[in-house]
Structure 1
Amino acid sequence: MRCHWLLLGAVLLLSAIDVTSSYKVWKLARANGNFAFCLYRKVINGAAGENVFFSPFSISTALSMTYAGARGKTAYEMCLVLGFCQLKSTVHATFGATLGSLNSPKTQYILEIANRLFVQENFPIRKSFLQLTASHYSAGADDVDFADSVVAAKVINDWVAEKTHDKITEIVKPIDVLGALLVLANAIYFKAEWLCPFNPDDTRQTLFYPTNSPPALVHMMRQTAKFNYTYDRRLRCQILELPYKGCKVSMYILLPRSKDGLASLESKLTFNVIVSALAKLRAKRLSVGIPKFGIDAGLKLNSILKSMGMKRMFETLDFSGITPGGGLSVSDVLHKAFVKVDEEGTEAAAATIVITKSLSVVKRQFLADHPFLFLIRDRTTGSILFLGRLTKPLVSYE
């Protein structure tokens, strides 16, 4: 199939972001991006050889709402780990501006981000906290009786299912919310068609080479056209941009040069390195092969966030910005994510729940036939919406 991708001329990605975004929104994207790759490295440490997929933006948003109620050393730790210290008191307003841009209805794709508070009936939550989360995060509040944990879990799961178009139907179990006083929730749903879809008639079975497993057959989508592409010598990987309709959001695939090069690529990743690499993208004509794939993933982030330096929110009651006198600590941070990539485009969803209680010689060919990293990024704000890697091909995408 012959199809020319609509490119944004020779304008560099970074320049596009600087022109269309405020400096504070860019600083927030950088903070969230740094957090994303730090979190990614922690996640893969416990997932050797496994597929990984999550929404760093969803996690940052849920934790940012939690941060709005933190005080003292707890707030300081969260500020350091989340990278909010340079934004200081403007972080929540900047999140609001970012969410407003991302949730714009004037797009050729679906991107929906929603936030909600679930509050124990008669729990004395500060009006200032409710006003802040409503104003900057559009987060309404629902009263819930967590003593009836079965009903409470159903209320939360039903909200997440609705906001993720039934892609995530159970993020909490009754035992998770038993005794909860406040649950902060974020959900994100994305569905977009490729600017130029792959022709299903060109999809054919091709060998995929996992790092430590025998080769396996995958359904490889193919087309030859002009793509934004580069080879980054520092990262030793090919980088391909696959824009979605409207060209505001793209998928970027980072394919290591060697079949066992993913670990080396992952060790070099930072937000600044990615921005620098993406700025080198140029239009080239090449043959592209991408496997169809799907991933369902779940994470309990408690130990990971603690290892990143965010310990006190799990161990102290320093959330007096939420309720007079504090009396809250975080018991669990739970995350689930889903992605499906096929000839038409991409569908992805994620949800994050914060539960509080008392206490990879370059050839002009891009054939993703071995493990690779991929991310979905909003070009306007610079926000990394989803981040993952594909290491095993035999994952259901139906």
Structure 2
Amino acid sequence: MKRFSLLLMLAAVLSFCQAQSESGGEGEGLEEEPVELFTTPTTKLGAAVSDFGYNLFRALASRETSSNIFLSPISVSAALSQLSLGASEGSQRQLFRALRYHTLQDPQLHSTLKTMLASVTATGKGLSTAARLYLARRLRPKQDFFKAVEQQYGVRPKALMGGAKDVKEVNDWVSQQTGRKVLQFLAKPFPRAAGVNAVSASYFKGKWVTRFGQSGALDNFQVEGDVPVRVPMMQQDNYPVKMGSDSDLSCVIAQIQMQDGVSMFIFLPDGVTANMTLLEESLTAEFVQDLAMTLLPAKVSLTLPVLRLSFSTDLLPLLGDLGLSEWMENPELDNISTQRSKLSSLDHKVVMETAPEGSQYPDVASTHGHLTYRVDRPFLYLIRDEASGALLFIGRVVNPKGLTI
């Protein structure tokens, strides 16, 4: 059934390409002019946030080669953007390069990011974020820095008290910002070094446009090098998606629409033992935007695992992989304090849920649901805001059995 589905899909793609070629007419033989995909300050910033996220994801994936991993790049970008307000001019340039801001030429960068953050966390999107800086108690902070961050991002950096009080303070604040969905953010106090600790967290529970009729039934999920595991699945026939295959990456790609301008892209490798490294290395904002424009509508028999996940890590060791090794040794955070300080930690936690609910029912009378898209083996997914193009979530699922909130 899978091979037949792929053949049908490829036939549709070939038919579409042939129709495009035949309608070329006068343009035949002329070079195609490049299309500018990102034309506004918001979409350009969305692309930068996404490319930073893909780079960060690759750095994490290279260290955790066979594990489930998840990130919310937009909340990490927010935390590091707050930090950039405390850096010297040269230090800020280095940080902006890692954040992919260096090509934007946006004099209102922080205001653009503030507006985009408000948009992607608006009611209905299903996303809530928390990003804040905490300063070691031994630092004497400059109040102008506190005021600048609060003015741009609506949250004031906070001086630490020390020990268990800090753990409770941070955990309570993150819980409040995420609607009590991201709990126990910190398990232990921050490092004792006289530095800056960055906190970023995200919770996501988006709603599908088209609901699933069946949910919770246990089904097999193939695991590399081991027996299949039984996990809850959602299933629906005649489910509308956009779809395509990439022979170079050996995967089938589906885009599933969620409410309020959010969508999920799923990259499903052809085999259980497929190496995802090439796929992970191919992800860029331009590549995903191109996918959104070229994937073809289809009605499929869709089967997805029910995801309820929590993932946390300190991202600080990954910054060296993004070209910030020298910066980490001497970040020149001169606008934060007269005392020399470094970034001591970059703690990140994400919580995500999927459920069968949606605002529309599938077209049960449709006769076009002959394709099957069964996500029953390791896959990669991303969740994207369509208006800005910003990457909200990205994850690699190798075994959903152990995922739990």
Q: TM range, normalised to the smaller chain? A: 0.7 to 0.9
Counterpart of 2:6 in structure 1 is none
Contact map agreement 2:205 2:354 (CA 8 A) in 1: no
Contact map agreement 1:157 1:170 (CA 8 A) in 2: yes
Counterpart of 1:130 in structure 2 is 146
For residues 134 and 316 of structure 1, the distance between their equivalents in structure 2, rounded to whole angstroms, comes to 25
Counterpart of 2:224 in structure 1 is 211
CA shift for structure 1 position 76: 2.6
Counterpart of 2:302 in structure 1 is 288
Matched to 1:140, the amino acid is: R
Matches within 5 A, 1:252-331: 252-261=265-274, 262-316=276-330, 318-323=332-337, 325=338, 327-331=340-344
Contact map agreement 2:200 2:349 (CA 8 A) in 1: no
Matched to 1:370, the amino acid is: R
Matches within 5 A, 1:183-222: 183-200=197-214, 203-222=216-235
CA shift for structure 1 position 278: 2.2
Which digits, 9 at most, give the CA deviation of each residue in 1:309-362, with x for residues without a partner?
112443125111222x352211111112222223237xxxxxxxxxxxxxxxxx
Contact map agreement 1:206 1:217 (CA 8 A) in 2: yes
Q: Does 1:44 align with 2:41?
A: no
Q: Does 1:140 align with 2:153?
A: no
Q: CA RMSD in A?
A: 2.6
SS in structure 2 at match of 1:189 = strand
Matched to 1:198, the amino acid is: F
SS in structure 2 at match of 1:374 = strand
Counterpart of 2:113 in structure 1 is 95
Q: Does 1:178 align with 2:192?
A: yes
1:383 to 368, 372, 390: 390
Query: Are residues 190 and 22 of structure 1, via their aligned partners in 2, closer, same or farther at CA, if it must alter by over 3 Å?
Result: farther
Which digits, 9 at most, give the CA deviation of each residue in 1:69-123, with x for residues without a partner?
1115432321211111123543212211211322334xx3433334434455695
TM-score (norm 2): 0.79
TM-score (norm 1): 0.81
Contact map agreement 1:163 1:189 (CA 8 A) in 2: no
Q: Which runs of 5+ in 2 are unaligned?
A: 1-35, 359-369
Query: Are residues 197 and 226 of structure 1, via their aligned partners in 2, closer, same or farther at CA, if it must alter by over 3 Å?
Result: closer
SS in structure 2 at match of 1:394 = helix
1:238 to 252, 256, 259: 252
For residues 102 and 201 of structure 2, the distance between their equivalents in structure 1, rounded to whole angstroms, comes to 25
Query: Are residues 101 and 196 of structure 1, via their aligned partners in 2, closer, same or farther at CA, if it must alter by over 3 Å?
Result: same
Counterpart of 1:357 in structure 2 is none
Q: Does 1:79 align with 2:96?
A: yes
Matched to 2:64, the amino acid is: A
Q: Does 1:151 align with 2:165?
A: yes
SS in structure 2 at match of 1:380 = coil
SS in structure 2 at match of 1:195 = strand
Q: Which runs of 5+ in 1 are unaligned?
A: 1-17, 346-362
CA shift for structure 1 position 177: 4.5
Matched to 1:376, the amino acid is: I
For residues 253 and 279 of structure 1, the distance between their equivalents in structure 2, rounded to whole angstroms, comes to 15
Matched to 2:317, the amino acid is: S
SS in structure 2 at match of 1:279 = helix
For residues 342 and 138 of structure 2, the distance between their equivalents in structure 1, rounded to whole angstroms, comes to 18
For residues 120 and 397 of structure 1, the distance between their equivalents in structure 2, rounded to whole angstroms, comes to 33
Matches within 5 A, 1:24-39: 24-39=41-56
Contact map agreement 2:75 2:131 (CA 8 A) in 1: no
For residues 333 and 204 of structure 1, the distance between their equivalents in structure 2, rounded to whole angstroms, comes to 38
Query: Are residues 187 and 334 of structure 1, via their aligned partners in 2, closer, same or farther at CA, if it must alter by over 3 Å?
Result: closer
For residues 335 and 63 of structure 1, the distance between their equivalents in structure 2, rounded to whole angstroms, comes to 12
Q: Does 1:104 align with 2:148?
A: no
Query: Are residues 227 and 180 of structure 1, via their aligned partners in 2, closer, same or farther at CA, if it must alter by over 3 Å?
Result: farther
For residues 382 and 218 of structure 1, the distance between their equivalents in structure 2, rounded to whole angstroms, comes to 31
Which digits, 9 at most, give the CA deviation of each residue in 1:185-223, with x for residues without a partner?
3333332322222123x6533322123322222222110
Counterpart of 1:161 in structure 2 is 175
CA shift for structure 1 position 388: 0.2
Counterpart of 2:242 in structure 1 is 229
For residues 30 and 380 of structure 1, the distance between their equivalents in structure 2, rounded to whole angstroms, comes to 11
Query: Are residues 92 and 45 of structure 1, via their aligned partners in 2, closer, same or farther at CA, if it must alter by over 3 Å?
Result: same
For residues 204 and 298 of structure 1, the distance between their equivalents in structure 2, rounded to whole angstroms, comes to 28
Query: Are residues 44 and 396 of structure 1, via their aligned partners in 2, closer, same or farther at CA, if it must alter by over 3 Å?
Result: closer
Contact map agreement 2:203 2:350 (CA 8 A) in 1: no
Q: Which has the higher strand share?
A: 1
CA shift for structure 1 position 288: 0.4
**How many residues are matched?**
356
Matched to 2:217, the amino acid is: R
CA shift for structure 1 position 386: 0.7
Contact map agreement 1:53 1:297 (CA 8 A) in 2: yes
Query: Are residues 122 and 316 of structure 1, via their aligned partners in 2, closer, same or farther at CA, if it must alter by over 3 Å?
Result: closer
1:59 to 76, 90, 110: 76
Q: Which moved more, 1:369-378 or 1:119-128?
A: 119-128
CA shift for structure 1 position 143: 4.5
Q: Which moved more, 1:36-45 or 1:204-213?
A: 204-213
